[in-house]
Amino acid sequence: MPKKMQDFQVPVKEQMVEFEKKFRFFMKSDVALLDRIMNYIVKSKGKQMRPILVFLTAGATGEIIDQTYRGAALIELLHTATLVHDDVVDDADYRRGFFSIKALWKNKTAVLVGDYLLSRGLLLSVENNDFELLKYVSTAVREMSEGELMQIEKARRLDITEDVYFEIIRQKTATLIAACTAVGAASAGASEDVVKRMHKMGEKIGIAFQIKDDLFDYGTAEIGKPLGIDIKEKKMTLPLIYALNNAKWLKRKEIIFKIKTQNTNQKVVREIIEFVKNSGGLEYATVTMEKYIKEGREILDELPDSEYKTALHQLISYVVDREI
């Protein structure tokens, strides 16, 4: 099973090299400050999982063409715009180990940069009549905003049920992964039915990815994500929801009170982590994650065998095996 992204990147290695050039061209600006910031964004980019997913899905369902490159760029442009804006909202000084745009150029510039990236993505699609791709990605951005706002609303009351939790992570995380797989298939000329199936597959992978991220909150501090950060931010994740649902009324009331009033106390956070572990919350979340992975694989297995399909299976393994 692949431990590194390079293992499943192999079938689209050449396309990713070409994508890097095209993506930088799509971000070009005649404004010196803006172009300097675009260069910084390119240098500080993350693992590129989303464009890889677009290209692999395109290869598995049809042919990688110019529209595939534009679809991958559209997703990266709009996703980067949301990240730049998120750092302003969260007052975050770092992103992927680099200084955030907000930290280096302040809030006003960061907001305008996010707006610029958004407009570049929209224009890229409109100028090339990629309206179907734009529909998938615009829907994803809308749902990401709705998911974030729903989470903010629910964090005030800490009354999230499993159903609400899954709707939040579907909108916050899974919808963009689903857009990647749908855009890949649509750009490759796949049928409407195949595009819908790929969208559903991406959604399953995205939900599993977020559950895995939730599980990191209860691991060791060395994994890259600070221990108990979700609890400190009053985020109701699946392990905690399960533990609360299976606790006696008084214990449930006590834990919710501590999350509301003592969520920054490290000793209390550790107590809550132990409560979740002892309640079987981690095992329940792991089993649920594996269920979504299985469902995603079943959809993928409907496609004909190819190196792209094999790589997608490896990518799915990475989602559950990754250590950060």
What pLDDT sits at residue 194? 96
User: The tokens of 205 are what?
Assistant: 């992978």
Contact 174, 206 (CB under 8 A): yes
Alpha carbons 165 and 147: distance in angstroms, whole number:
10
Taking only Cα atoms into account, the Rg of the chain, rounded to an integer number of angstroms, comes to 20
Residue ranges of the chain with per-residue pLDDT less than 50: 1-3, 220-225
At residue 323, the pLDDT reads 63
pLDDT value at position 318? 87
- In which element (H, E) is residue 94 found? strand 94-95
Amino acid 277 reads K
Q: In terms of pTM, does the model score above 0.75? A: yes
C-alpha triplet 58, 67, 77: angle, nearest 5°: 95
Distance, in Å, from the CA atom of 131 to the CA atom of 288, rounded to the nearest integer, reads 35
Domains and CATH numbers, the chain: 6-216 (1.10.600.10)
Q: Tell me if 160 sits within 8 A of 154, measured CB to CB.
A: yes
Q: Among all chains, which residue has been given the structure tokens 């998911």?
A: 147
Q: What is the pLDDT of residues 201-244, one digit of tens each?
A: 999 999 999 999 889 888 744 444 456 777 787 788 899 999 99
